[in-house]
Amino acid sequence: MSNGWIKSNTFHHSEFRDLQQLVNEKERLGLTISLCIPTLNEEATIGKEVVVFRSELQQRYPLLDEIAVIDSGSTDRTLEVAATFGADTYLASDLLPHLEPKRGKGENLWKAIYQLKGDIIVYIDADIKNIPPRFVYGLVAPLVYRPEVKYVKAFYDRPLAASGGVRPSGGGRVTEILIRPLFSLFFPELSLIIQPLSGEYAVRREVLEAIPFPIGYGVETSHLLDVYTRWGMEAFAQTDLDQRVHFNQPTLSLGRMSFAIMQTFLSRAESLGVIGGLPELNRVLRQFQAHDEEYEAVEFAFTEDERPPMIEIEEYRSKRSTDNG
């Protein structure tokens, strides 16, 4: 399975450089494609992303039918900048406002399913310093050309943006230290996905609306487990996008991310019958920081709350019925 899947379902973005051909096939199939950029205080990078995608993938080649920023409540000029350069902008809290408000990247991704119209939704992180059009078309193309593919993940070299410039290697630490070992132990086929935690992926609407969404760091892990369980490895593809330059996160932040992801993983594994008899899990992570010769314990409470499949939301079903009517 491994060699066959990698050979048939792993791509390089250069295979799809003929954008006019891609647009022609999209239009022949009658597909619509939406781009969602989830944000929180990203005024430094959001403008460039919107400009690149709008100029190349809407105006020059009409691949994208809409570009939307869905924001968690930025305190900087993220929404103003995005709107100035032509993106549709939304506050996540304004969408489905009767629901109890929740904050997190997964919340933004989930509400995009409600707000956006595309048959395919492509998600791109807002903090990419070297954003090129291939980050969208490289992910969308396998869904356009391969009807059996449902979920396309990005992978790339991950040099870290540091004060001394770009370093030639690094990144992906949570993947290599946490997720890849867990997948290798319990879901070995999923270890074929090179960067399971990448924030860039494109998915068919019928998949997105059918799976639950953790609102925090566990959303990508949850997606992979749920899609794999329902549709198998043949539903996945992955595209090499060459390089993604991003800001390095400190180790303590990665520890908090890992703690949240572990909650999601264990919950899913137990519900799938892969792990049984788990005790009630502690939801408080304890970390330490030093002040001179004193050590201070800092505690963070994390409960990986999640939203139900969007198809279960009455307002969504009504909206889709109206949109399709």
Q: Which long-range contacts (CB under 8 A, 24 or more apart) does 188-192 make?
A: 189/1, 189/2, 189/5, 189/228, 189/233, 190/224, 190/225, 190/228, 190/233, 192/2, 192/5, 192/6, 192/233
Give the total number of structural domains in the chain.
1
Residue 81, C-beta contacts closer than 8 angstroms, at least 6 positions apart: 43, 46, 47, 50
Q: Which two tokens stand for residue 30?
A: 């009658």
Cα of 279 vs its chain's centroid, Å = 30
Q: Which two tokens stand for residue 100?
A: 């109890």
Place of tokens 């991704």: 109
* Owning domain of residue 317: 2-324
Residues in a beta bridge with 157? 243
Contact criterion met (CB below 8 Å) for 216 and 307: no
Contact criterion met (CB below 8 Å) for 151 and 225: no
Task: Output the 3-class SS for the chain.
Answer: CHHHHHHHHEEEHHHHCCHHHHHHHHHHHCCCEEEEEEECCCHHHHHHHHHHHHHHHHHHCCCCCEEEEEECCCCCCHHHHHHHCCCEEEEHHHCCCCCCCCCCHHHHHHHHHHHCCCCEEEECCCCCCCCCCHHHHHHHHHHHHCCCCCEEEEEEECCEEECCEECCCCCCHHHHHHHHHHHHHHCHHHHHCCCCCCCCEEEEHHHHCCCCEECCCCHHHHHHHHHHHHHCHHHEEEEEEEECCEECCCHHHHHHHHHHHHHHHHHHHHHCCCCCCCCCCCCEEEEEEEECCEEEEEEEECCCCEECCHHHCHHHHHHHHHHHC
Query: What CATH code is carried by the domain that includes residue 152?
Result: 3.90.550.10
CA dist 296 and 284 (Å) reads 16
CA dist 216 and 13 (Å) reads 29
Amino acid residing at 287: Q
pLDDT score recorded for residue 129:
79
Backbone torsions φ then ψ of 280, nearest 5 degrees: -65, 125
CA dist 263 and 110 (Å) reads 19
pLDDT score recorded for residue 160:
45
Q: Whole-angstrom distance between the N-terminal and C-terminal Cα of the chain?
A: 42
Contact criterion met (CB below 8 Å) for 203 and 121: yes
Predicted confidence pLDDT, tens digits, the chain (325 residues): 567 999 999 999 999 999 999 999 999 999 999 999 999 999 999 999 999 999 999 999 999 999 999 999 999 999 999 999 999 999 999 999 999 989 889 999 999 999 999 999 999 999 887 789 999 999 999 999 999 999 999 998 854 444 445 433 334 889 999 999 999 999 999 999 999 999 999 999 999 999 999 998 999 999 999 999 999 999 999 999 988 765 667 888 899 999 999 999 999 999 999 999 899 989 999 998 887 778 888 898 877 789 999 999 999 999 998 887 6
Contact criterion met (CB below 8 Å) for 247 and 167: no
pLDDT score recorded for residue 165:
52
**pTM of the prediction?**
0.91
